Amino acid sequence: MMGFCWDWSRECGPHGRGWVGPTVLLCIYGFCSMMRPSEPFLTDYLTGPYKNLTTKQVTRQVLPICVYSNLFLLIPVFLVTDILRYKPVIVLQALNYILAFLLFIFSSGVVLTQCALFIYSMGTAADVAYYSYIYSVVHPQYYQRVTSYARGAVLLGYAAGAMLGQLLVSLGGVSIYWLNVITLGSLCVALLAALLLPMPQRSLVLGGTQNDNGPFEEVVSSSRGSWVVWWLRKGIRTGRGEMRALKRLVVDCKECYSSMAVLFFCVWSAMGKCGYHQITGYVQLLWASKQPQYNFTEYNGGVEAVATLSGAAASIAVGHVALDWSVWGELVLGVFTALTAGVLYLMDLTNSIWICYGCYGLFKTIYMALITICTFQIAQGLSRERYALVFGVNSFVGMALQSLLTAIVVNTKSLQLTITSQFLVYASYFAAMVVLFLIRGVYTLLQSRLMELIPAEGLSERRT
């Protein structure tokens, strides 16, 4: 197999050819793990004859499990991911997804459905392993390329699954039950791809890198990158290994967020993820409230597929825009977040399911573009061993915000908000983000222009 390099000691080979093998397998895993034809119809499956749950049970008892369990699991999974060096966690993620869908297919009742969603959340909490794995097995010169491939595989997999589900339901008359069976088969293929991934010989956060100096250089040299082996040999004997690792995490975290430019893109990333996951998690309930009661064919899968593909196209397009993002980036975030808030208000207030569908597609497209801007702006200000750390912290903050939003909007018994009232709150949440980032964007732009004028004035004075 030309170009496939499984040995860490030959990282990318003499000419950088070894990135192909791990990238192909990771993309196959990403595509198959996200090709879930049943997901756009999850609410119908839970409230239909298969599970016989009420809309209130789904809204207040079932769906919040994902949010709260993600928050609880994210940090432990993040640390374990780095300790085990990514591949075992990717394998466990696939196994969690398989077990969750087995429960979806064969179980019944609120409690078992909650268990299925908890296990499913264990899988989603391990996304950090998927996005960090490739950085530990390829050379830095390929980071941009492999990142686009890995993200593109996920988006294409989700779009393909959504479109397949829509076609099978609309044209083939296939029941949602069998969509879950197809999803289970796709996840089994993903598990096989995960098992074939080469095992990294170092980690990015706790285990150090080849360029590290100091105590963590010993991790790579003496233990072939295994933080666990190093901890057992040194940490237990001295009693300081664990504290040293935690201290490094704290110092790295402080340095990562010391730049105001990086900080604000991280803030949008965390807040944006919170709002995005809340919208996508509950949008099927909103669609159900907008749909005509009789003689209507749902197009949830088709809408998700088109929205995902347009979001992928927007992400790619943003990467080719020639703009000084360090100056204009925050203002762009503010302007397009304002458009997002307007779209959400319209989606909530309209009585037309078609306008609601269209607004959702526009919302998802804008979000994909803006999160891409945040991602590459954050990455430009970080060394590669800190990328996984910042990704994990941003995800944790986003999940904490989502948990707080869910607790207030969904689970507060005194409020008892309808689904349309909930989406009004979510739209207002994005409107609050607009104020913050418009102010920050204008400030950054004025500061940049002022810095350009001062040298120019000084030069003209010297000439006179």
Write the DSSP symbol of residue 296: -
Q: What band does 133 get if pLDDT is binned at 50, 70 and 90?
A: confident
In angstroms, the first-to-last Cα distance of the chain is: 69
Assess contact for 269 and 378: CB atoms under 8 A: yes
pLDDT (tens digit per residue) in 414-434: 788 899 999 999 999 999 999
SS3 content of the chain, % helix, strand, coil (to 5): 80, 0, 20
| Euclidean distance between CA atoms 368 and 316, whole angstroms | 10
Contact 337, 430 (CB under 8 A): yes
Per the model's pLDDT, the better-predicted residue between 201 and 282 turns out to be 282
* Gap between the Cα atoms of 313 and 320, Å rounded: 11
pLDDT at 379 over 80: no
In the block, tokens 């956060």 appear at 205
Q: Is the Cβ–Cβ distance between 347 and 360 less than 8 Å?
A: yes
Decide: 269 and 394 in contact? Cβ < 8 Å. yes
pLDDT of residue 239: 46
Structure tokens at 243: 């504290």
Q: How far apart are CA 272 and CA 327, in angstroms?
A: 20
| Rounded Cα gap, residues 379 and 269, in angstroms | 12
Contact (Cβ atoms closer than 8 angstroms) between residue 220 and residue 208: yes
Mean pLDDT across the stretch 400-419? 89
Instruction: Please tell me the distance from the alpha carbon of residue 192 to that of residue 209, in angstroms, as a whole number.
Output: 29
E strand map for 276-337: none
Maximal CA-CA distance, the chain: 85
Which class does domain 260-464 fall in?
Answer: mainly alpha
Fold match between domain 1-204 and domain 260-464: yes
- Transcribe 260-279 into DSSP letters: HHHHHHHHHHHHHHHHHHHH
Phi first, then psi: what are they for 293, rounded to 5°?
-75, -25
What are the two backbone dihedrals, phi and then psi, of residue 4, each rounded to the nearest 5 degrees?
-95, 120
Q: From 430, 429, 258, select the one nearest 266 (Cα to Cα).
A: 258
pLDDT of residue 334 exceeding 90: yes
Each residue of 193-207: pLDDT tens digit?
999 998 886 655 555
Return the domain boundaries, the chain: 1-204, 225-255, 260-464
- Residues shown for the chain: 464
Return all residues near 130 (Cβ < 8 A) that are at least 6 apart.
26, 29, 30, 90, 93, 150, 154
- Joined together, the tokens standing for residue 196 give 């074939």
Inter-helix orientation angle 260-290/384-409, to 10° = 40
In one-letter notation, the amino acid at residue 5 is C
Residue 373 has pLDDT above 70, yes or no: yes
Measured N-to-C along each axis, helices 63-84 and 260-290 cross at an angle, to the nearest 10 degrees, of: 140
pLDDT digits (tens, 9 = 90+) for 61-113: 999 998 899 888 887 887 787 778 789 999 999 999 999 999 999 988 899 99
Q: Report the C-alpha gap between 280 and 436 in whole angstroms.
A: 23
Integer Cα distance of 161 and 181 in angstroms = 12
**Quick one: pLDDT at residue 455?**
64
Provide the residue type at 189 as one letter.
Answer: V
Superfamily of domain 1-204: MFS general substrate transporter like domains (1.20.1250.20)
